[in-house]
Chain A
Amino acid sequence: MTDSEPNDTRRTSFILQDILAKIEQAVSEKDEQDFLVNLVKAFETGGKSKVNEILEQKMRETLSGVEKASAEIKEALKEVEGT
């Protein structure tokens, strides 16, 4: 039983509003601001699991192409393996 349960969001939402207001003040870059706002709202609506979902998605976007780059490097190293 935690305060993040759907029926107990009244107080949480009140608190998160403060954080959202502060984010708007403290973060100037739009993308960054959007991401953090999304994260806070995700916590408000879906709790920890929703936040994790948003973060996973962000990390996927951030690391898009990392596997390809890594594979290319490995391929290049493999090419000279026989010599």
Chain B
Amino acid sequence: MRYFLTKVEVEGFRGISKRRELELHPKLTILIGPNSSGKSSFIEAIEWGLVGDKVPREVYTKRRRTAIRNKYTRNTEVKIHYNDGQGRGFVIKAHLPRHREYMPEIDREGPLKGLVAAHIGFKDYIRSVVYAQADPRVIIEKAEHLNTAIDSILGLKAYKDFMKCIEECISKVERKEEALANELYKFKEELTRKYEGLIRKIEKIQSILKKYGIDPSQVSLKKIRDELKKLIPPDYKGDIPEDVEGLRRTIEEFKKLWEITPKLPTYQQALLCELEQEKKGLVNRKERLKSERTKCYEWLQQLESLIKDLSNIEEKLKGKNLEKLRSQLAEKEYQVRQIDNEIKKLNSMIEEMNEEYSIVEKAWNFLKKSKKAYCPVCNRELTTGFLRKRATLEIIEKRLESLKSEVEDLVERRDKLARELKDLNNERDQLEKQIEKIEQLQRERNKFRREIKNLLEEVSKSPRIARALENPSVARELLNETIRRIDEEICNIEKEIKRKEKQIEDLKRLIEESRARAEELSREKLRKMDIIYSELEYILLHKSVSRLEDLIEKEPWKLLEKFICKLEALRLMLIKLMNITKEVHESEAKEKLKEFNKILDDVYRALYEHPYFKHIEVRLKEIRSGTEPNRYDIICISERGEEEGIDVLNTSAQNAISLAVYITSARLGLHPLSILLLDDPTQTFDERHVRKLAEALEKISEDVQVVVATADERFQKALIELFYDKAYIYKFEKDWAPEEGPIFERLR
């Protein structure tokens, strides 16, 4: 039961601006007219409306069909009416939203809604739309697409999917099988390693036991317990356990206890401590006495030094009378003051004389220069004339001389007194120095006396002296006596220390001997303990080996091996299923191909007449599982049976083959809806083949609904001639306004 399209309504799609309707013939619809008259827009609208949301973007991009939307209208819509072959009509509505460029929103009604739309593009001008299980979006434009396309046309993809699924199952089982095999291998390896390790250990312990003279076959838990009982340490309070683990712990405990250095007898230890303490006390006392003695020595030394210094000062002060010296000094000071006063008096007299001398000298000078003058001395008017002047000058000269001599006398006298004053001053200074020295000595004497007193007070505070000391000589005697007594005490203490040291030495030797004996005993015990431990370990190792031997005897890996075998069986089952599928797949493919090739050859020969290669055939080269398509070869065959690949054919022959492949697939009756859209298919054909194609369409349209558009007048003529009464033929006008859309009319 075939579905077929009845009508297509187009608006705002490519060249079609205003709404146009095109009724479609169930078999063949022909659109004829010159180039750019709007035919292709209808062909593309049908394809877009049916599978526009299934065609990948690259198909549009590749065909430069991005301009889906017509620029004169806002709405882009294609409505496709179809019939389900039982008289029921449905609509598929495709609409291009404003935000999209090419991908429509499609609302499908009726039975096609549940089917998968597929688009098969062979060449730009041969496209088909099918609604079936076929692989969508198959484009045979390159050789590598051919295998997929034929798989799809033959309907073999279901096999491939099933095979892929089984393949995945097989690999899953294989992975599990491998994991189990790995686990088994690891287990066996570990078992062997452990078993060998235990045997090596047993051999080692056997040799140790033999070295100790123990027969390993005689080793038993009872023997170990009996031996342990003999080795119980004094501090151990528990019982000897019977189990292996308990015995092991007990041996560890015993070893720890025996490893501790045996304790020394308490009295020896206490005595040693006491002696040490006594010795320490004596040494301290000796040190204390020594420091006391040193202090006494220091005091004695200080005392002697002070006494010596004091006596030196006393010696120096002997015969010195400070009062006498002081009265002498007072007398000298009086004399100095007297002379000093006299000198001052003389100086004033000299000064007066000099003053007078200067006045007289001025008068003399005046007289010598003036003719009439007044005596500067008596203020009388001097008589003029030479004699008077001379007499006056003589008087003045005499007075000057007298004054000069008086001044000289006074100066001489003053100088004499000055010298005396200097001597007196010297004497006075010496006296002052003597007095000062004596006073200094007296101060020092007082200081030494104070120091001696302080020292005596300090010495008297000493516990050994403890009484008031009146004078240094008593203190000296007392200190000497004390030093002597301290020396005696130190001597006694040293003797006592030596005695204690000897006692300590003896006691230590005794203790060392005891310790050595105890350690020897302990070592012996530990050695025995080691032997017992080896015996116990020997028992334990034997137990482990027995456990492993039991394990080996039980052969637990056989269980795992069994599981691996089961998995292998499962895998083989799946492989069997795979092989069955492959077999069925192959026979199905061959069967289909036989039928396919028969039709293909007929169609090819109807479409195209090659002078040499009269036949074509598709051959199965290899069945493949998974996503890989089966491999096919398309062979062209000559009448004489010579075979070649189709690449030797020219373009028109290859186009004819593409068309033949599709038509054959349609004839196989695999799809509920198959539309063949041919847009100017005769581009590469000559007149003969144009005619052949037109004739072939009659037969093709029996199996598949065909919509063909052509501008080729040869083809138009042939089509009108052949299908005028059998198809819908629409004639498109050359002149039409873009804002209105194409103009066409149905011829019949």
Contacts and interface: CB of A to CB of B under 8 A. Distances in A.
Interface of A: 1-5, 7-8, 10-12, 15-16, 18-19, 22-23, 26-27, 32, 35-36, 39-40, 43, 47-48, 51-52, 55, 58-59, 62-63, 65-66, 69-70, 72-73, 76-77, 79-80, 83
B185 interface: no
A70 B183 contact: yes
A3 B157 contact: yes
B584 A22 contact: yes
B133 A69 contact: no
Given A10-B133, A80-B194, A18 B548 contact: no
Nearest to B546: A80
B416 interface: no
B566 A62 contact: yes
B573 A59 contact: no
Contact of B198 (A4, A27, A47, A83): A83
Contacts of A12: 133, 158, 161-162
Contact of A73 (B198, B557, B563, B588): B557
Given A18-B584, A55-B169, A83 B540 contact: yes
A23 to B, nearest CB: 6
Interface stretch (B282-290, B346-354, B575-583): B575-583
Contacts of B557: 73
B583 A22 contact: yes
22 contacts: A3-B116, A3-B135, A3-B157, A3-B158, A11-B155, A15-B159, A15-B584, A16-B162, A19-B584, A22-B580, A32-B576, A36-B580, A43-B165, A48-B168, A55-B172, A59-B172, A59-B567, A59-B570, A62-B563, A63-B566, A69-B556, A79-B544
Contacts of B573: 32, 35-36
A15 B544 contact: no
Contacts of A15: 155, 158-159, 162, 584, 588
B68 to A, nearest CB: 22
A45 B310 CA distance: 138
A77 to B, nearest CB: 6
A63 B183 CA distance: 14
B388 to A, nearest CB: 165
A69 B544 CA distance: 20
B559 interface: yes
Nearest to A4: B161
B450 interface: no
A54 B724 CA distance: 60
A59 B175 CA distance: 12
Nearest to A25: B580
B576 A27 contact: yes
A44 to B, nearest CB: 9
Given A12-B133, A48-B161, A72-B556, 8 more contacts: A1-B54, A7-B116, A16-B158, A39-B166, A39-B169, A59-B567, A76-B548, A80-B198
Interface residues of B, number: 54
Contacts of B168: 48, 52
Contacts of B547: 76, 79-80
Nearest to B194: A80
Interface string B147-161: 000000001011101
A20 to B, nearest CB: 9
A69 B560 contact: yes
Which 3 A-B residue pairings sit nearest by Cβ, starting from the closest?
A69-B559, A80-B544, A83-B544
Interface of B: 54, 114-116, 132-133, 135-136, 155, 157-159, 161-162, 165-166, 168-169, 172-173, 176, 180, 183, 187, 190-191, 194, 198, 201, 537, 540-541, 543-544, 547-548, 551, 556-557, 559-560, 563, 566-567, 570, 573, 576-577, 580-581, 583-584, 588, 670
A3 B563 contact: no
Contact of A43 (B162, B187, B576): B162
Nearest to B537: A83
Contact of B115 (A8, A47, A51, A83): A8
Nearest to A51: B165
A17 to B, nearest CB: 10
Contacts of B570: 58-59, 62
Nearest to A18: B584
A74 to B, nearest CB: 8
A27 B132 CA distance: 33
Nearest to B187: A73
A8 to B, nearest CB: 5
A26 B580 contact: yes
Contact of B551 (A10, A22, A47, A76): A76
B59 to A, nearest CB: 16
B116 A23 contact: no
Contacts of B540: 83
A59 B581 CA distance: 22
B301 to A, nearest CB: 82
Contacts of B132: 11
B560 A3 contact: no
A66 B180 CA distance: 9
Contacts of B670: 11
B190 A63 contact: no
A33 to B, nearest CB: 10
Nearest to B572: A32
A11 B584 CA distance: 14
A29 to B, nearest CB: 9
A63 B577 contact: no
Contacts of B537: 83
A36 B165 CA distance: 13
Contacts of B172: 55, 59
A59 B573 CA distance: 13
A52 B173 CA distance: 11
A23 B133 CA distance: 25
Contact of B116 (A5, A16, A26, A52): A5
Contacts of B159: 15
Nearest to B201: A83
Contacts of B157: 3
A1 to B, nearest CB: 6
Contacts of A48: 161, 165, 168
